[in-house]
Chains A and B, each alone.
Chain A
Amino acid sequence: MSPNGAKRTPDPIPAQAGIGLRAPHYREILEKRPNIGWLEVHSENFFSDGGQPLFYLEQIRNHYPLSLHGVGLFLGSTDPMNWDHLDRLKSLIDRFEPDFVSEHLCWGSAQGRFLNDLLPLPYTEQALDHFCRQVQRAQELLGRTLLIENVCSYLQYKESTIPEWEFIAEVSQRTGCGLLLDVNNIYVNSVNYQFDPEIYFQSIPLNAVREIHLAGFDDTGDCLIDTHSQPVFPEVWELYRQAVKRFDETPTLIEWDTDVPELSVLLEEARKADAILIGNHAHTA
């Protein structure tokens, strides 16, 4: 129930495409109510105490299932747990009753100084223990399971001993968290570090994947960088088809954060994802 007593859409997030809800589209979504399975927002964009963002989300939430996607909790940081951030997240969860709440497999602050970026962890036993402990503490405070998303990485630590795919699979096994598989990030990392993405998929427990992300990247010449500033690339659509074959009916989000285009462009990308989801369903049914 919302604070004003109106009933929320009770449905869980369906195995369809959704789009990231960004400020330039608040009003249009509310006016046109496009036919889209669900919406995802960055949790921190609604950490304010009042004002316009909450005004719109209150209304939009009444028409769409919602996912809260955090970009600032940084569970991999060795700083003390950011309880203030978690409290703000919990208030948001209580208010909007999202079906999914996700965070990233990353760190982002040291000695209280925030870098506000999704920084990769070294994939070591020590980091695995630490990250799992943090996920468990967050899940306990929030009283729910989180989804954890794989990130892009542009650096490799010498001390890493565990492949990324085994590391994230283990996080899910140990903490019971779900996984948010970012297929674009897997593609970017597979090109930058020359591994076969199929190996990644095969390491991930089938029932752990609750959500998939798709986005566009930039090619700087010497590597690929995840910018969320472009349409999904054909290579990533191809990889997505493979992911859908393996993980079946998984809610899929189109992310676009920089140079956000017209809403119609996002909806068109979502339709492409829906076609692949439906095609796979018809094929396996």
Chain B
Amino acid sequence: MPTLRDLQIEFASAIFNPSGKGADFLQNLVDGNLSPKRQLDIYRNNVFGCLTDALKIAYPVIAKLVGVEFFEHLASEFVLKNPSKSGDLHDFGGELAQFIAEFPSAQTLVYLPDVARLEWACHQVFFSENHPPLQSERLAVVPEDQHERLKFHLHPATRLIASPFPIHLIWETNQDDFKGDSAVNLNRGGVRLLVRRNNYQAVLQPLTEGKWSFLNSCLSGRDLSQASADAQKIDPHLDIGETLKQCVADSILVDFSL
């Protein structure tokens, strides 16, 4: 008689690897109303169905772009290579963009991995923690000679995404409530996006290259003088003072440290 631990390991391997060692697991099952194979198939359907549904919920635009049949094929391959590591299904699926980038039958859809990255950013932003706005009085008490050394922190519910493809438009035209012309010209160029939360929903905000670079430098822990230099290399006319003021007012930058 196998130990409970062996039985569970064999069960899992039978679910995910039916043609390999897993076939032995069937010997542990009673051949009753349902054959051992059918009993295991029910669980395989449940497990793959549930994990696929979790991916459909996190990646509705990908599902729409590739169609249900292809998405389910993609999902079942993904599940085999990227096991769920959590009892909370909301944690599952973060590696899908990388997986799609390497998935042979998705190679012609060059923009797909970036759309997946964008959807995962939206998923994370939806569930991220809340944070109060930065009170300008806190900034006012910082001595002026230290301003350059301030490191600004982004709101936890923000993500920065850059893509050479118009993923912003692809995302918008594939929302359920979108009305209008859904054709997107892939040659219209890339986009730099801030994904943030508004009214508890993830929203996309296209940014200029300079502003995106400024925020990205803040995110990397660079101080104000470094972040300003990074941004002005790309956009010499960027008004850092104004950008900073706006980002604080919009609760994009919500804290700072020295």
Q: Contact residues of A with B, CB < 8 Å?
A: 44-45, 47-53, 55, 71-74, 77-78, 82, 85, 88, 107-117, 119, 121-122, 124, 126-127, 130, 154-159, 192-194, 222-223, 225
Nearest CB in chain B: distance from A77 CB, A: 7
Q: CB-CB < 8 A to B9: which residues of A?
A: 110-111
**Which residues of B (1-34) have their CB < 8 Å from a CB of A?**
1-5, 7-9, 11-12, 15-16, 27-30, 32-34
CB pair A114–B156 under 8 Å, yes or no, is no
Task: Provide the bound-state CA to CA distance between A155 and B42, in Å.
Answer: 9
CB pair A117–B43 under 8 Å, yes or no, is yes
Q: CB-CB < 8 A to B197: which residues of A?
A: 51
Nearest CB in chain B: distance from A267 CB, A: 25
CB pair B32–A156 under 8 Å, yes or no, is yes
- The stretch of B124-132, B135-143, B178-186, B209-217 in contact with A is B124-132
Task: Provide the bound-state CA to CA distance between A126 and B5, in Å.
Answer: 10
Nearest CB in chain A: distance from B112 CB, A: 25
Contact pick for A72, options B4, B36, B89, B131, CB 8 Å? B89
Q: CB-CB < 8 A to B89: which residues of A?
A: 44, 72, 116
Q: Contact residues of B with A, CB < 8 Å?
A: 1-5, 7-9, 11-12, 15-16, 27-30, 32-34, 36, 38-40, 42-43, 46-47, 50-51, 54, 83-90, 92, 126-131, 156-157, 197, 200-201
CB pair B128–A50 under 8 Å, yes or no, is yes
Q: CB-CB < 8 A to A116: which residues of B?
A: 47, 50-51, 54, 84, 87, 89, 92
CB pair A158–B33 under 8 Å, yes or no, is no
Contact pick for B86, options A114, A121, A154, CB 8 Å? A114
Nearest CB in chain A: distance from B85 CB, A: 6
Given the known interface contacts A44-B90, A119-B11, the answer about A154 and B200 at a Cβ–Cβ threshold of 8 Å is no
Interchain residue pairs A-B with the least CB separation, the first 6: A72-B87, A49-B129, A48-B127, A155-B39, A52-B200, A50-B130
Nearest CB in chain B: distance from A241 CB, A: 27
Name the residue among A55, A71, A82, A117 with the largest chain B CB count within 10 angstroms.
Answer: A117
Closest A-chain residue to B29, C-beta based? A155
CB pair A49–B200 under 8 Å, yes or no, is no
Contact pick for A157, options B5, B16, B30, CB 8 Å? B30
Name the residue among A47, A49, A50, A194 with the largest chain B CB count within 10 angstroms.
Answer: A50
Sample of 12 more A-B contacts, CB < 8 Å, known A48-B127, A53-B127, A72-B89: A47-B90, A52-B200, A85-B87, A111-B12, A116-B54, A116-B84, A117-B43, A127-B4, A155-B29, A156-B39, A158-B27, A159-B2
CB pair A158–B156 under 8 Å, yes or no, is no
Q: CB-CB < 8 A to A117: which residues of B?
A: 43, 46-47, 50
CB pair A222–B92 under 8 Å, yes or no, is no
Q: CB-CB < 8 A to A159: which residues of B?
A: 1-2, 7, 28
Nearest CB in chain B: distance from A242 CB, A: 24
Nearest CB in chain B: distance from A215 CB, A: 15
Closest A-chain residue to B5, C-beta based? A78
CB pair A155–B85 under 8 Å, yes or no, is no
Give 9 pairs: A residue, B residue, CB < 8 Å, sorted on A. A51-B200, A52-B126, A110-B9, A112-B83, A115-B12, A158-B30, A159-B7, A192-B34, A225-B42
Given the known interface contacts A115-B15, A116-B84, the answer about A50 and B42 at a Cβ–Cβ threshold of 8 Å is no
CB pair A73–B157 under 8 Å, yes or no, is no
Closest A-chain residue to B202, C-beta based? A51
Nearest CB in chain B: distance from A271 CB, A: 30
CB pair B127–A49 under 8 Å, yes or no, is yes
Q: CB-CB < 8 A to B92: which residues of A?
A: 114, 116
Q: CB-CB < 8 A to A78: which residues of B?
A: 4-5, 8
CB pair A72–B129 under 8 Å, yes or no, is no
Q: CB-CB < 8 A to B86: which residues of A?
A: 72, 85, 114
CB pair A113–B200 under 8 Å, yes or no, is no
Q: CB-CB < 8 A to B157: which residues of A?
A: 50-51
Closest A-chain residue to B2, C-beta based? A159
Task: Provide the bound-state CA to CA distance between A223 and B201, in Å.
Answer: 41
Task: Provide the bound-state CA to CA distance between A108 and B92, in Å.
Answer: 15
Q: CB-CB < 8 A to A130: which residues of B?
A: 4
